[in-house]
Amino acid sequence: MNWVLIFLGFSALVILHEAGHFFAAKATGMRVEKFFLFFGPKLVSVKRGETEYGIACIPAGGFVKISGMHPEDKLPPEEEHRGYYEQPVWKRIVVIGAGPAVNIVLAFAILFALGFSVRVANRTVEEVRPDTPAAAKLKPGDTILAVDGRSYRDLTGQDLVDRFREEIGSHECSGKQVNGCLAATPVVLTVRRDGEVRRIVVKPEYSAAAKRALVGFGYGSESAGYGASDAAGWAADQMWFVSTRTVAVFARLFEADKREEVSGVVGVSAVANETIEVGTKEALFLLAIVSLSLGLINLFPFLPLDGGHIFWSLVEKVRGRPVPYRVMERAGALGFVLVIMLFFLGLTNDIGRLTGGGFNAR
């Protein structure tokens, strides 16, 4: 059932993206010949007015075919004025930009809705993991008042928890840090339990996965109580974080650690499958991030992506005359090679994660 939901979710993102192009083209007077989900030979279609709507057989993306986007397109004389390249530059940019815009707006809408249910970490111990240093020392319901005597009273929420984690993580093993080694010095936790303040001394254990020392407990959380403005601000913060990370990864693809962060459809689907098991909110959050990423990546300035069409439209505006089609064709061929390379890079990384340590979606 999870895979059906994943398929429907991804398909919805594609349909909404293409719908952005479709409605913008219609609104600006262009002639739309086809609106298809997926690529390749068509499986089923129906024609309504001048547009054919259908589903193709290769489940990857979708497309809207606008008359006049190729030099060989022949339109009836009475329809020539509705061709894509017969339109002013601003109309072409609106039509091409509408697809990514829909994905970005959808991402914000989902995150905004989730913003009302945001929970923030607090000092409470919610979970004590078995077979860890904390197992014999802490209990669920304990309140962490200080770590190594530092209470950080000026901090709250995630900032406070992060500082506590840094303090615990500063305790290192003697010599090389290897998975499971105990820190050379203990961490002192000041906790409140049943109204009584206690001092607990425990040696944290180094975790290779977390890349720091851990005591072995999870913090509790509470509702952030966000209103509309707070939810909007939270959504904007999440989008800014994802956007900067996405641009940073693609801008530094020649660095090995950045290349490893690229995921393909297989990887995203695997993460989605794990995320659905965690909860509905987590699944919706991932859907928003995928929608935002789809919008951002499509804005990269090389063909055949939407950003490539926008880029060459702007070039035409600056130079004051159309760009020769052969130039755009060569740029499109180069861009297609780059897209294929990114596809195989993502696929290779996905295979490595599937056969290795997994995706750690939880």
Whether 144 shows a pLDDT value over 60: the answer reads yes
My answer on whether 329 and 317 are in the same domain is yes
Residues carrying an active site annotation: 18
My answer on whether 247 and 106 are in the same domain is yes
Q: Where are the beta strands (DSSP E) in 184-280?
A: 187-193, 196-202, 205-207, 212-214, 217-223
Give a yes or no: residue 21 inside a domain. no
Question: Residue 299: what pLDDT?
Answer: 92
Query: Which of 191, 223, 255 lies at the terminal end of a domain, its last residue?
Result: 223
End-to-end CA distance of the chain: give it in Å, rounded.
Answer: 19
pLDDT digits (tens, 9 = 90+) for 71-128: 777 888 888 889 999 999 999 999 999 999 999 999 999 999 999 998 888 999 999 9
Tokens linked to 13: 């993102």
Radius of gyration of the chain (CA): 26
My answer on whether 244 and 354 are in the same domain is yes
Q: Provide the 10 A C-beta neighbour count for residue 308.
A: 21
My answer on whether 113 and 125 are in the same domain is no
* Domain, as residue range, for 350: 98-118+227-362
Which neighbouring-strand residues pair with 55?
37, 44
Question: Residue 54: what pLDDT?
Answer: 94
Give a yes or no: residue 160 inside a domain. yes
My answer on whether 298 and 359 are in the same domain is yes
CA distance to 128, 283, 312, 333, per residue, from 308 (Å): 52, 31, 6, 12
Strand 32-48 to 205-207 pairing = unpaired
Nearest to 196 by CA among 121, 141, 132: 141
Give a yes or no: residue 2 inside a domain. no
Query: Which of 169, 199, 223 lies at the terminal end of a domain, its last residue?
Result: 223
Question: Residue 277: what pLDDT?
Answer: 63
The type of residue at 314 is: L
My answer on whether 240 and 104 are in the same domain is yes
Give a yes or no: residue 65 inside a domain. no
Whether 359 shows a pLDDT value over 50: the answer reads no
Confidence of residue 70 (pLDDT cuts 50, 70, 90): confident
- We report the CATH number of the domain holding residue 207 as 2.30.42.10
Average pLDDT over residues 39-56: 92
My answer on whether 201 and 342 are in the same domain is no
Question: Residue 262: what pLDDT?
Answer: 67
Give a yes or no: residue 303 inside a domain. yes
My answer on whether 108 and 140 are in the same domain is no
My answer on whether 108 and 211 are in the same domain is no
Whether 315 shows a pLDDT value over 90: the answer reads yes
Q: Considering the chain, what percentage of its residues have pLDDT values greater than 70?
A: 87
My answer on whether 147 and 293 are in the same domain is no
- 357 vs 242, higher pLDDT: 242
Give a yes or no: residue 233 inside a domain. yes
Give a yes or no: residue 67 inside a domain. no
My answer on whether 211 and 317 are in the same domain is no
Whether 257 shows a pLDDT value over 60: the answer reads yes
Structural domains counted in the chain:
2
Average pLDDT over residues 184-191: 94
Is 201 in a helix, a strand, or coil? strand
Average pLDDT over residues 163-172: 93
- DSSP annotation string for 291-309: HHHHHHHHTSSSTTSHHHH
